[in-house]
Amino acid sequence: TNLAIVQTPVKPVSDKPAKKKKEKLSALCKTPPSIIRTRGGRGYHRGLFLGEGGFARCFQMKDESGEIFAAKTVAKASIKNEKTKTKLLSEIKIHKSMSHINIVGFIDCFEDDTNVYILLEICPNGSLMDLLKTRKTLTEPEVRFFMVQIIGAIRYLHSRRVIHRDLKLGNIFFDPEMNLKIGDFGLASVLGPHSSRKYTICGTPNYIAPEVLEGKNTGHSFEIDIWAIGVMMYALLCGKPPFQSKDVQVIYERIKQNDYHFPNDDKVQISNEAKKLISDILATNPLQRPSLEDILEYPWFKSGSFPKKITVESLRHNPDFS
Ligand code: ADP
């Protein structure tokens, strides 16, 4: 990329020892100026705050023609060492090389004295996580529709030897037409043609695959994205991830023991076809998990209706597919 990430010295805010060590890194990212000019001379108007993650804050950004984008802003003050800088540059490089209708579009990146800006296609309808929070659970037809889009995007990633490594409901967004877009390539990695990657613990506790926790180095690691698909499908249908617990160590233990159950109450009814697919994906042995192509052949995809389109109405209410 053409980013240099030139650091300007940051004045310490106070000389007292930092008390809140765990403060979010994104808190370092003050609201960017209202107009940002790139070195190439393009100007952008900053708009509304969209949300924040562990590392970045996201704002609306309007270009000179009035088109609106999302700008992921990373404070240079939070890029303290070479490792963080390398990670950010890797996220940019991988995301920049992606082009698929179900992957958040990468537009541009630039920097000023205080921030690095990653300009992305805007996804104004929230994430799958937001949808699940308002709806509690989704219907099987909706989940079928979402799974096909998610799997399409992951097939594209894997065919380019990219492992996302942080697939979760909060990283999959809706575009204005309610198509899903996978975002956040912060943990993604590109696998060499013959290499098998040593697993390092990364990702979000609920979605981590058992082989990552066991630290086993068994061949490829594309299967960790497949595992996350199983966790997401379970969560969308049942309302919470399969290995959920307040205690992270308990989550890890449950993942290693493959200790999960389908809800057994009147409110959440899950078809046997869906249960079969989820339990095959959540196989402890990564080599026993179905491939992306196998998944799409499962009877569940044909065992009920398949919506032509999801509308913004679904953000609030159960849709009627009858
Ligand atoms: P981090 O890498 O710090 O976790 P994310 O990429 O998850 O950052 O982005 C943080 C938040 O910004 C998201 O939770 C979401 O609310 C918002 N966001 C990210 N990308 C977009 C986008 N393309 N369109 C709209 N909002 C976005």
Give this complex's ipTM.
Answer: 0.95
Mutate to test the pocket of ligand 1, among 69, 167, 173 (most ligand atoms within 8 A of CB): 173
Is the pLDDT assigned to residue 17 strictly greater than 50?
A: no
From the CA of 26, how far away is ligand 1's center (Å)?
Answer: 11
Whether the Cβ atoms of residue 26 and residue 52 lie closer than 8 Å to each other: yes
Tokens of 276: 């079969």
Mean pLDDT value of segment 84-97: 94
Could you give the residue ranges of the DSSP H alpha helices within 97-180? Answer: 128-135, 140-159
Q: Smallest Cα–Cα separation from 49: which of 72, 17, 67?
A: 72
Residue 239 is predicted with a pLDDT of 96
Furthest-apart CA pair in the chain: how many Å? 65
Mean pLDDT value of segment 72-87: 90
Is the pLDDT assigned to residue 13 strictly greater than 70?
A: no
Query: Which comes out higher in pLDDT, residue 211 or 33?
Result: 211
Please list the residues that pair with 51 across neighbouring strands.
58
pTM above 0.90, yes or no: no
Residue 280 backbone dihedrals phi, psi, to 5 degrees: -70, -40
H helix count then E strand count, the chain: 8, 10
108 included as an active-site residue: no
Per-residue pLDDT tens over the stretch 225-276: 999 999 999 999 999 999 999 999 999 999 999 999 999 887 788 999 999 9
Is the pLDDT assigned to residue 122 strictly greater than 90?
A: yes
From the CA of 282, how far away is ligand 1's center (Å)?
Answer: 27
Residues 15, 108, 130, 166: which is the catalytic one?
Answer: 166
Q: What confidence category does residue 18 fall into, taking pLDDT thresholds of 50, 70 and 90?
A: very low
Q: Is 76 annotated as a binding residue?
A: yes
Mutate to test the pocket of ligand 1, among 177, 184, 204, 207 (most ligand atoms within 8 A of CB): 184
Q: Which amino acid is at 154?
A: I
What's the angle, vertex CA 109, arms to CA 106 and CA 110, rounded to 5? Answer: 170
Whether the Cβ atoms of residue 225 and residue 162 lie closer than 8 Å to each other: no
Among the atoms of ligand 1, which is closest to the Cα of residue 104? 23
Mean residue pLDDT of the chain comes to 88
- How does strand 162-163 pair with strand 189-190? antiparallel
Calpha distance 36→44 (Å, rounded): 5
Mean pLDDT value of segment 154-164: 96
Is the pLDDT assigned to residue 22 strictly greater than 60?
A: no
239 Cβ contact partners less than 8 Å away, ≥ 6 residues apart: 132, 136, 137, 263, 268
